Amino acid sequence: MQIAIVGLGLMGGSFALGIKRSDTKVVGFDINQKHCKTALELSIVERIVTFDEVQKSDVIILAVPVEAIIKITKNLTISKDTTVIDLGSTKEAIVNAIPSSIRENFIAAHPMTGTEKHGPKAALKDLYKDKIVVLCNIEANAPLHKDRAYELFNRLSMKIVTMDAKAHDLHAAFISHMPHALSFALARTVLSQEDPKSILTLAAGGFKDMSRLAKSSPQMWSEIFKQNQKNLLQSIESFENELAKCKMMIKKGDFEAIDQWIREANKLHHIL
Amino acid sequence: MQIAIVGLGLMGGSFALGIKRSDTKVVGFDINQKHCKTALELSIVERIVTFDEVQKSDVIILAVPVEAIIKITKNLTISKDTTVIDLGSTKEAIVNAIPSSIRENFIAAHPMTGTEKHGPKAALKDLYKDKIVVLCNIEANAPLHKDRAYELFNRLSMKIVTMDAKAHDLHAAFISHMPHALSFALARTVLSQEDPKSILTLAAGGFKDMSRLAKSSPQMWSEIFKQNQKNLLQSIESFENELAKCKMMIKKGDFEAIDQWIREANKLHHIL
């Protein structure tokens, strides 16, 4: 089996490292020549191939920003035996953009893992291990492609969850996309202060956790925000309402109500 | 030297474990009898003592919620050779509440460390190691007490920073107190969704980081919010303005502006 990884960054590079096996050729493609060079140096892929050869592979992994996934998908020329798997963080716009001629081949996947880093140097062999992957609208896939996707995600030791793309995007807005917006906004709020350096001297673990996501890639995240615009707005507004409640109680000096408000927040950790 | 730890939770327990030495007796006091028992079982302190004996110690560490620090401070009866050090996360209200009779003895300290956990079982020997401790309005302290505080924090391998209490509270609002409010609000926003369990099934590292602080103690944090009310409101409003900018760009569909907005957020990490 030949697997072609399109996009040799954190997600694609880690997929390549995790999926390697003696009976599997893992080859790569990236429009960034530096990434190609680094991916070869780090033995992430065994060869860099042309896009023509990508299209002739048994499996194509699309590990590029979500707008690029749509662009590539529209122009793919593949046989009925080629499986395409995208790893994008949004699913509805991607699913809607798949040409009907390759709909059965195209597995819409979202592995719930990552780090704030990017590029092939950030790739980790175990990035996917024991994590969840959401497969969306899997009923649209032919058995060959569905079975292959299950086999590959099992090989990465992932837990597979299936979901409707619409539901996925709403959930992802609340649990991933909106929290990224909060982290970006927090970083900018602190930077906008008169003396950010002296403030940051004092940063402890809490601030570091809350601002880690603010390191994330602008291209990747502006495209996710674009594709999940409606749900993201809804989730930001829910958050704003919750923070406004907190502000109002602080303004009024009602700290017993704040105590109760925090107690309710603590309940998250009975679930998580 | 005898050091009495008042409050045998995460901060007090960790201080006790880190400061131990053959020439130093570390004794404890807590109004929670379970914490006293656990602290003895875990050898965090060598004895539980009465509050009378606390007041006769060479050093008293106040590792209790910030409202309790003020209450205890107002009723302390100590000799001029006893050093009192509080570890509260707010400093201005505490400094203002110190009776003038013991002002020279009282070191207002804020160690920039912690975890979301509480109680003596959460205590860690190295919680303070290599972290920053902010000492506020240190010019009000007599040399004996200042020297002792420096010696103790050096023994914990901490980096000492001095600061005006007013400036400390403003910085702490932006870098610690407001981020806690965000984490509580995020947890509540996700819990308020129709199906929080299925959303949380999908939680990856990003959400876990952003919601970790939401586990923090309601009593401790409602009291911090009370004492830092004005700065906290200012920092929440700055954050709200920043998030509103983000929302407006998403609403307009201006994703190039979002890309630039994220690029600016990324700059935090040239400093941190």
Task: Please determine, for residue B144, whether its predicted confidence score (pLDDT) is greater than 90.
Answer: yes
Q: How confident is the model at residue A116 (pLDDT cuts 50, 70, 90)?
A: confident
Q: What is the mean pLDDT of residues A102-128?
A: 95
Q: How confident is the model at residue B254 (pLDDT cuts 50, 70, 90)?
A: very high
% residues pLDDT > 90 (chain A): 92
Tokens representing residue A158 in the block: 């992932």
Task: Please determine, for residue B198, whether its predicted confidence score (pLDDT) is greater than 90.
Answer: no
Q: What is the mean pLDDT of residues B200-215?
A: 91
Q: How confident is the model at residue A199 (pLDDT cuts 50, 70, 90)?
A: confident
Chain B nearest CA to A181, separation (Å): 8
Q: What is the reported pLDDT for A17?
A: 98
| Residues in a beta bridge with A84 | A60, A106
% residues pLDDT > 70 (chain B): 100
Q: What is the reported pLDDT for A156?
A: 98
Chain A nearest CA to B194, separation (Å): 10
Q: What is the reported pLDDT for A202?
A: 86
- Mean pLDDT, chain B, as a whole number? 96
- The answer to whether the CB atoms of A188 and B259 lie below 8 A apart is no
Work out the burial of residue B163: count CB atoms within 10 Å of its CB; fewer than 13 is exposed, 13-18 middle, 19 or more buried: buried
Q: What is the reported pLDDT for B200?
A: 80
Those of residues 60-79 in B touching chain A at CB distance below 8 A are none
Longest dimension (CA), chain B: 67
Q: What is the reported pLDDT for B176?
A: 95
Superfamily of structural domain B168-271: 6-phosphogluconate dehydrogenase C-terminal like domain (1.10.3660.10)
Q: What is the reported pLDDT for A269?
A: 85
Those of residues 185-224 in B touching chain A at CB distance below 8 A are 185-193, 196-219, 221-223
Domain ranges of chain A: 2-163, 168-271
Task: Please determine, for residue B204, whether its predicted confidence score (pLDDT) is greater than 90.
Answer: no
A43, A17 in Cβ contact below 8 A? no
Task: Encode burial over A78-97: b for 16+ CB neighbours within 10 A, e otherwise.
Answer: beeebbbbbbbbbbbbbbee
Q: What is the reported pLDDT for B201?
A: 82
Spatial distance between the Cα atoms of B25 and B6, rounded to a whole number of angstroms: 14
- The answer to whether the CB atoms of A185 and B246 lie below 8 A apart is yes
Q: What is the mean pLDDT of residues B148-172?
A: 97
Task: Please determine, for residue A261, whether its predicted confidence score (pLDDT) is greater than 90.
Answer: yes
Q: How confident is the model at residue A73 (pLDDT cuts 50, 70, 90)?
A: very high
Tokens representing residue B141 in the block: 């302290």
Task: Please determine, for residue A4, whether its predicted confidence score (pLDDT) is greater than 90.
Answer: yes
Q: What is the mean pLDDT of residues B194-218?
A: 89
Q: How confident is the model at residue A200 (pLDDT cuts 50, 70, 90)?
A: confident
Residue type at position B116:
E
B2-163: CATH architecture: 3-Layer(aba) Sandwich (3.40)
Q: Which residue has the tokens 């597979």?
A: A160
- The answer to whether the CB atoms of B175 and A199 lie below 8 A apart is yes
Residue type at position B265:
A
Taking one residue from A and the other from B, the number of pairs with CB-CB distance under 8 angstroms is 291
B210 chain-A contacts, CB cut-off 8 A:
179, 182-183, 209-210, 213
Q: State whether ipTM is beyond 0.85.
A: yes
Q: What is the reported pLDDT for B251?
A: 98
- Mean pLDDT, chain A, as a whole number? 96
Please tell me which of the candidates B113, B269, B271 has its beta carbon nearest to residue A204: B113
Task: Please determine, for residue B263, whether its predicted confidence score (pLDDT) is greater than 90.
Answer: yes
B207, A176 in Cβ contact below 8 A? yes
Please tell me which of the candidates B197, B218, B236 has its beta carbon nearest to residue A271: B197
3-state secondary structure at position A193: coil
Evaluated on CA atoms A43, A44, A45, A51, the torsion sign reads negative
B104, B82 in Cβ contact below 8 A? no
Q: Which residue has the tokens 């907005």?
A: B261
- The answer to whether the CB atoms of B179 and A171 lie below 8 A apart is no
Rg (CA), chain A: 21
Task: Please determine, for residue B196, whether its predicted confidence score (pLDDT) is greater than 90.
Answer: no
